[in-house]
A and B are shown apart, each in its own frame.
Chain A
Amino acid sequence: MKERQRTHEVDLSLDAPSAYLFTGEICTRAYRLNKFAFDFKYAAVRERFARDAEALMTEYALSESEKALVRARDWTGLVASGGHHFNVIKIAAAVGESHLHVGAHMCGADWDEFKRTLPRAIDLMPQDLG
């Protein structure tokens, strides 16, 4: 992983870990993980997760490493493994973590400190980028 740039310089990279663009290739590779996470929009799936997460993950045929990331609530790891952030935040919501908590996790930041940094305003114009 390259060094994380924070507040002082604007990080223009669209590569991980600066950003996680969801490509069609990632979609195909991480299809089962995304199917699992998408289904958290259904209350019945959230209830089954609360009751027996292991059985649910096995039913959706998650890999061992994907299961470990879910157990660890490793939102960054799940997105880095191909989970679309809109899907991963559904799992986070089911265990009481908001979209901003996921953001703090991605930035490796303490929650209270992270909230104070938002929004992270920049004023570069796209036309001025080389």
Chain B
Amino acid sequence: MSRIVGGIGIAHTPSMGYQFDKGMQSGFDPKWRLWYDGTQPVKRWLAELAPSRIVIVYNDHMNYFDLKTYPTFAIGMAEHFPQADEGYGLRPFPGLDGDPNFAWPIARALVRDGFDLTFCQELELDHGVYSWLPYVLDPPWPCKVLPIAVNMLMQPVPTPQRLRALGANLRRAIESDGRDHTVLVLATGGMSHQIHGTRFGLTNEKWDRYFLDTIESGLDELVAIPIEKIMQAAGTEAAELSMWYAMRAALSPDARAYYRYYTLPAVTGCGVIALDEPHTPR
């Protein structure tokens, strides 16, 4: 039986990726050096955990999905997920591999339990994945991934309750898989930020730190906060944090934070939490 061995919640932002490439080439900007150093314990933890599959709950930013047909939830069934060109050319990283033999039983179980996802035979991954990826994994990427894309750019977006339910169903789906995969569930969404309107550039470190502290054991408390209020206090794009609920709900209630880190290098709160499952041998 496959089982979940851990979880990661992590922020994403285009500058995180750009600053990684720049940092590796000519040294990090001091503000981004903090984020690089702050994520290295996650990288070591993940290398030790060595999951055989990673489920990634993320959102695209008009870099793969256009508005012609916009899925609320989409799942990648392909054997390969190239990096999406956001208009600045591809960054120097290979695409990620998928595993249809893992993806289809998961997708079937999700549909059975009420999640009617859009099945993608092609899917390119943008900075929603590639911005944090090289901070926590080294290429060649050591394991295959199963991406689940969530609509976060056109209202109405799925509710916090629905994202928590996605996580709970993911857990059932993974545990009903007959193979012996060790699965990490990762969710990514920017923390406080707003990138339009006269509130452009708004950030809220107090909220971000509270969120990082509370997601470990206070999921009910977080899910109960109306998303509009989070958008008011932490910026409209902080709504992306609700994707982290899917990660937390996929893990057992006993999962505990192995590590958390927060910094605010530019206009988006950058935080990460790594959660251990209690049964994970260490």
Contact = CB atoms under 8 A, between A and B. Distances in A.
A and B associate in one complex: yes
Given A86-B62, A123-B206, A106 B200 contact: yes
A124 B204 contact: yes
A85 B235 CA distance: 14
B112 interface: no
Contacts of B197: 16-20, 106
Nearest to B207: A125
Nearest to A105: B200
Q: How large is the interface on B (under 10, 10 to 19, 20 to 34, 35 or more residues)?
A: 35 or more
15 contacts: A14-B228, A22-B153, A40-B87, A41-B86, A84-B67, A84-B154, A86-B63, A103-B196, A103-B267, A106-B197, A117-B201, A118-B266, A119-B202, A122-B204, A125-B207
Given A20-B197, A41-B63, A93-B88, A129 B153 contact: no
Nearest to B195: A85
B26 interface: no
B25 interface: no
Contacts of A35: 66-68
Contacts of B87: 40-41, 46, 90, 93-94
B49 interface: no
Nearest to B68: A35
Contacts of A18: 197-199
Interface string A40-72: 110000100000000000000000000000000
Interface string B245-282: 00000000000000000001011000000000000000
A4 B264 CA distance: 26
A121 B68 CA distance: 36
Contacts of A85: 195-196
Contacts, number: 137
Contacts of B210: 125
Interface string B200-221: 1111111100100000000000
A23 to B, nearest CB: 4
Nearest to B89: A43
Nearest to B194: A19
A107 B202 contact: no
A87 B62 CA distance: 7
B153 A121 contact: no
Contacts of A11: 198-199
B199 A126 contact: no
Given A126-B234, A127-B225, 14 more contacts: A11-B198, A19-B231, A20-B196, A23-B154, A24-B155, A41-B63, A84-B62, A84-B153, A99-B195, A119-B201, A119-B267, A120-B202, A121-B204, A126-B230
Nearest to A93: B87
Contacts of A84: 62, 67, 153-154
Interface string A17-44: 1111111100100010011001011000
B83 interface: no
A126 B229 contact: yes
Given A19-B199, A46-B87, A90-B87, A127 B63 contact: no
B85 interface: yes
A125 B197 CA distance: 21
B43 interface: no
Contact of B196 (A19, A126, A128): A19
